[in-house]
A = this chain, B = another copy of it.
Amino acid sequence: MFKYSATITTMASSHTAPAGVRWLNADEQSTWRAFLAMNKLIRETLERQLQQDAGMPMTYYIILAMLSEAPDRTLRMTELAAMAGTSQSQLSHAATRLEESGWIERRRCQGDKRGYQAVLTDAGFAILRSVSPSHVESVRSVLFDALTPQQVSQLRAIAGAVTNPEV
């Protein structure tokens, strides 16, 4: 079982702990530990499944998926990076790999010769199509199957609050 030490977020022994820090209380502490364990489990599950079934990391899968939805399965690199939530550099490296695998192509932009358009190839779409069922199944079994409908909406609210804090 994954355990995330008190030292990190509570620094329990008072004589060794820096003062004036808002350490986590017991509830927050156990929540934090559980949260980390959950993330670790989910990430590893999906990452492994995709690696097995498609030989690519989740990041690359998301990149392909984004392209698959775009008009003409085409996006400019910068837009693609924004949608997939990657840095430009990361996307650039990924695109090199994905191009080697024959799943995307890069074409120079017409109007703007600095830019490139990434296009999902048929092979790229095919791999996506073949892998997505097991991917969804993994997402289901590792996350949704464990939750009640209530918890699903709670989780959505929580995630929304974190990514879009009120203050």
Contact = CB atoms under 8 A, between A and B. Distances in A.
B22 A152 contact: no
Contact of A151 (B11, B22, B133, B161): B161
A38 B158 contact: yes
How many monomers of this chain does the complex have? 2
A10 B69 CA distance: 12
Query: Chain A interface mostly helix, strand, loop or mixed?
Result: helix
Interface in A1-36: 2-11, 16-18, 21-24, 27-28, 30-32, 34-35
Most chain B beta carbons < 10 A, residue from A10, A37, A128, A156: A156
26 contacts: A3-B66, A7-B69, A7-B128, A8-B61, A10-B136, A11-B132, A22-B136, A24-B139, A24-B140, A27-B156, A28-B152, A31-B153, A31-B155, A31-B159, A35-B143, A38-B158, A38-B159, A38-B163, A40-B85, A41-B162, A42-B162, A143-B162, A145-B167, A146-B161, A151-B161, A155-B158
